[in-house]
């Protein structure tokens, strides 16, 4: 179906050192989990998703719950009504 996607960070030795995965439904990407084995590797994966998203028609990245970590990376919590408005505007 092609709904599950991962963004992975690999070191020069060929080991996966960070990443994130989630589900895409049309223009919505729901991030499910992030991990890192090297400092900042999950941040690099999130940056890759953010740079890829507009080029591939992703209008909204849902990181689920606000956390200080995600807030420090620029995530913003929005009220439920605004979330539903954005989903509707994206065609879902």
- Taking residues 55-76, report their average pLDDT: 90
* DSSP codes of every residue in 4-68: EEEEEEE-TTS-EEEEEEEEEETTEEEEEEEEESSTTHHHHHHHHHHHHHHHTT--EEE--S--H
Number of domains present in the structure of the chain: 1
Q: Quick one: DSSP state of residue 89?
A: H
pLDDT at 13: 97
Evaluate whether 19 touches 41 at the Cβ level (below 8 Å).
Answer: yes
- Could you give the C-alpha distances from 80 to 37, 84, 85, in angstroms and in order? 34, 6, 9
Segments forming the whole domain that contains residue 32? 4-89
Residues 34-45: pLDDT tens digits? 999 999 999 999
pTM of the model: 0.86
Q: What is the CATH number of the domain that holds 49?
A: 3.40.630.70
For residues 45 and 85, give the distance between their C-alpha atoms in angstroms, rounded to a whole number.
27
pLDDT at 78: 92
pLDDT at 67: 86
Question: Where does the pLDDT of residue 58 fall: very low under 50, low under 70, confident under 90, or very high at 90 and above?
Answer: very high
pLDDT at 41: 96
Handedness of CA 35, 39, 45, 46 (dihedral sign): positive
């Amino acid at each position: 179906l092609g709904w599950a996607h991962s963004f992975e960070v690999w070191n020069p030795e060929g080991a996966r050192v960070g990443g994130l995965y989630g589900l895409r439904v049309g223009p919505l990407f729901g991030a499910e989990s992030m991990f890192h084995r090297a400092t900042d590797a999950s941040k690099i994966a999130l940056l890759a998703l953010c740079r890829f998203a507009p080029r591939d028609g992703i209008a909204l990245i849902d990181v689920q719950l606000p956390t200080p970590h995600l807030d420090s990376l620029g995530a913003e919590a929005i009220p439920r009504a605004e979330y539903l408005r954005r989903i509707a505007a994206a065609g879902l």
